Structure formats: C-alpha cells, structure tokens
Amino acid sequence: MVWKTKLTELLAIEYPIIQGGLAYLAYADLAAAVSNAGALGQITAMSLEGPEALRNQIRRVRELTDKPFGVNFAIGQHGRPYEQMVEVAIEESVPVLSVTGGNPKGVIDMVKGHEIKTLVLVAAKRQAQKAEELGADAVIVVGQEGGGHLGRADTGTMVLTPQVVDSVSVPVVASGGIVDGRGLMAALALGAEGVEMGTRFIATKECVDAHPVYKQAILNADEHATVVIKRSLGTPGRALRNEWTDQILALESKEVGYDGLKSYISGQANRNYIHNGKIAEGFGWAGQGVASITSIPSVQELMDGIIQEAEAIKNKWK
C-alpha cells in the first residue's frame, strides 16, 4: 500500500513519520536507520561539540543511507550560538532542517534560497501562523504529552493538532504521546499530514547511546510515570519521574530559581542517567506514551509494526 500525504511528498519519504530531535541520543546511526526504514531520521545538532562534529555526523549519515534525513536545531538550549552549525548544514546540503526552542527567523532566513526544507516545532496556534509567515515548509505541533521540552500552556496533542491544522496552510505534523499505528491514524484523522515521535525511538536497538537502564525504565513505565520539570523557569520539559525529579520539583516549589536548580537540570545530570544509567544522579526525558512502549525492536521492526497496525485500522473502516 502506498502512503501518500503532503508530508511524504514534501520530504520525499515513504511513510509520514519523523524521528524528533533527541538531545545526546540522535546521532548518525539512529538517523540513518530511521531514514532507511522509510521515515525521516534526524541528527540533533546542538548536543554535538561543534560545527565539524556536525559535518562528520552528516557525512556518516550519507555513508549509511541515500534517503532524505534532517538536522535538528534546538536553538534556545545550551546558550550556544547556532549560526556556524546551520552554515555547516547548508554547506553539506542537508535535505531537511528542523528548529525549536526560540524564534526560528534567524535559521529560516539563513536557509532561504537553498534546497532545504524547514520544519518548525510549535506549541500554539499563533506560533504556527508565525512560522508559516516566516517561510516554514511545515510545522510540528508539540503536545503536552510529549517528552523533552514542551510549550508553556499545557495543551494536549488532541486539542492542539486540529487547532493548528485549521489555522495554517502548510502541512502539520502531530507529536506528543504518539508511539504506534493507532497514534499515527489518530493524528491523520485530526488533519495532520504525519507524526513526529521522540520517546518511541529511544527504545530501539539502534538508539545505542541510551543506556539499557534508561530503556528498561521506559518499558517499566505506566501512564503516571512522567513529570514536568523546569516549569518555574518557563521552560517546562517532561521526564521520567524518579527521586532526582522529585528533588527538582521540591526545589521549584521553594522558588530557588535557575541558580538553585542548575546542577540538577544540567546536561551532565541528563547524561548521568541516559548514557551512564545512574538513575540516582540524574534524569531522562520521556513522554507519557511510555505507557504503551513494551519492547525494544530494531527501527525496521518498529516501522513495520506501526505501518501494519495503521493499515489494519484503515481496513477496518473500509
């Protein structure tokens, strides 16, 4: 069966599925595996050391696949300038670039005139309209269920997706809480042209940088297993609940501010958990969809399962 949506046409991919940026986890091997399986894999630029590391990652993806792939820029994070990194993505003619975490204008302006499709992550109708005005080729809606950084307004994917679909004319991609073929079909029913998944790709064989302890925590998790931290800083993000996040929430309730929180929410604390499996010394981002993740397949097996499940749903309603 042929899957054809505005997103598959725009990005020249087989299935309307994007692997979201995953800080410290989405490198060339995962991105290439996702693209080889017919979806869009992405490298996460801003958790790499610098422009040359990004160039190496892009070249490595090209060694592993001839399919389209993307580079994700979380421009608000790490307080680092992104221009040189975007320059590398342009020099290397990457097919797709996605932007989150700040005003996307700088990145979109740099990319204008090049054969690069731009995707902007949004968590509100107004942001989606702004992204379209600036020239984004598609917007990715980030609902409250999602893993990692979120919008401030706590709006869920089910509500946000149709709102955004009705307010822009570029293709809309739904994300937040989607982990299977049911989620894909639900998103399409809401008017999305595809989905982005983050958490689901962590629990795959090719996500080699995720420690087995992190993957196991995802498998063990139920629908109450995640919490939103960093809300007091205006940058909420969803993580697996553990003693470390309980401590963060306790500190936030005391209004300690950034200085009081910084060692708890640092990249190092994140890596302690996700790379080293030290669950008492850090945190790992994850979305509410963890509740439905029960296996660690290869990316190809994951994609086959999602597509089979989605097609069974389609056939049910024929």
List of residues contacting ligand FMN (CB under 6 A): 20-23, 25, 44, 72, 74, 100, 121, 142, 145-148, 175-178, 196-200, 285-287, 289
Tell the smallest beta-carbon distance from residue 315 to ligand FMN (Å): 25
| Residue among 41 and 198 whose Cβ is closer to ligand FMN | 198
| Residue among 8 and 226 whose Cβ is closer to ligand FMN | 226
Give the nearest residue (CB) to ligand FMN.
198
| Residue among 99 and 168 whose Cβ is closer to ligand FMN | 99
Tell the smallest beta-carbon distance from residue 190 to ligand FMN (Å): 15
| Residue among 145 and 193 whose Cβ is closer to ligand FMN | 145
- HSE-up of residue 90 (Cα within 13 Å, Cβ side): 14
Tell the smallest beta-carbon distance from residue 143 to ligand FMN (Å): 8
| Residue among 22 and 168 whose Cβ is closer to ligand FMN | 22
| Residue among 74 and 128 whose Cβ is closer to ligand FMN | 74
Tell the smallest beta-carbon distance from residue 8 to ligand FMN (Å): 19
Tell the smallest beta-carbon distance from residue 21 to ligand FMN (Å): 3
| Residue among 7 and 25 whose Cβ is closer to ligand FMN | 25
Instruction: Name the β-bridge partners of 120.
Output: 99, 139
Tell the smallest beta-carbon distance from residue 110 to ligand FMN (Å): 17
Tell the smallest beta-carbon distance from residue 45 to ligand FMN (Å): 8
Tell the smallest beta-carbon distance from residue 118 to ligand FMN (Å): 13
Are 44 and 77 in contact by the 8 Å Cβ rule? The answer is: no
Compute CA distances 89 → 60, 93, 122, 221, 291, whole Å: 13, 6, 22, 36, 35
Q: What is the 3-state secondary structure (H, E, C) of the chain?
A: CCCCCHHHHHHCCCCCEEECCCCCCCCHHHHHHHHHCCCEEEEEHHHCCCHHHHHHHHHHHHHHCCCCEEEEEECCHHHCCCHHHHHHHHHCCCCEEEEECCCCHHHHHHHCCCCCEEEEEECCHHHHHHHHHHCCCEEEEECCCCCEECCCCCCCHHHHHHHHHCCCCCCEEEECCCCCHHHHHHHHHCCCCEEEECHHHHCCCCCCCCCHHHHHHHHHCCCCCEEEECHHHCCCEEEECCHHHHHHHHHHHCCCHHHHHHHHHCHHHHHHHHCCCCHHHCCCECCHHHHHCCCCCCHHHHHHHHHHHHHHHHHHCC
| Residue among 153 and 257 whose Cβ is closer to ligand FMN | 153
